[in-house]
Amino acid sequence: MKQCKECNGSGEVACSACDGGRREPSCPDCRGLGYRGNGEGGTEDCDRCNGEGEVAPEDCPKCGGSGTQECSVCDGTGDLPSEACPICGGKGEVACTECQGEGEDEGGDPCPECDGSGVVPCEHCVS
C-alpha cells in the first residue's frame, strides 16, 4: 500500500472548522450569526458565543478542540486503498494538461511541464 499523501500517513488532517486550532469556528448554536430567535418574534444574543458568532478553537464542534479530524481520503488509515486510483488507474501518472499528452508545446519544443514526456505524476495517488 502507498502512504496517503493528504495526511502524510498519519490518518489525520487539520480540522476544517477551526483550521487545526488556528481560527475560531462558527458557533454551532447560532450558525455564526451571533443571535437566535427568542420565541417571541424577536432575536437575542446567542448564549454559547455571547453574540460573537464564533466559539474558541478548544470548543470546536467538529474536532472537540483536538485541531484534527480523520482524513477523508484514506478514512483515517494513513494508507491509500489497494484498488487502482480512479484518476490514473493505478499507473501513477496522467496525461499532461499543458500539452494534452503530446509532449510538445505549440512551437514544437518539448513541453516544459512534462519535459516532453506527455505525462505528469498523478497528484491524487503519488506521494
Q: Contact at 8 Å (CB) between 105 and 111?
A: yes
CA gap 49, 68 in Å, rounded: 22
Q: Considering its fold, how many domains does the chain have in total? A: 2
Domain shared by 75 and 37, yes or no:
yes
Are residues 72 and 59 both part of a single domain? yes
How many percent of the chain have pLDDT more than 70?
96
Strands 93-95 and 68-70: unpaired
- Residue range 8-44, pLDDT digits in tens: 999 999 998 888 888 888 898 998 999 998 889 899 9
Q: Are residues 68 and 90 in the same domain?
A: no
Q: Which domain holds residue 46?
A: 1-82
Q: Which residues contact 70 (CB under 8 A, 6 or more apart)?
A: 11, 12, 13, 76
Question: pTM to 2 decimals?
Answer: 0.50
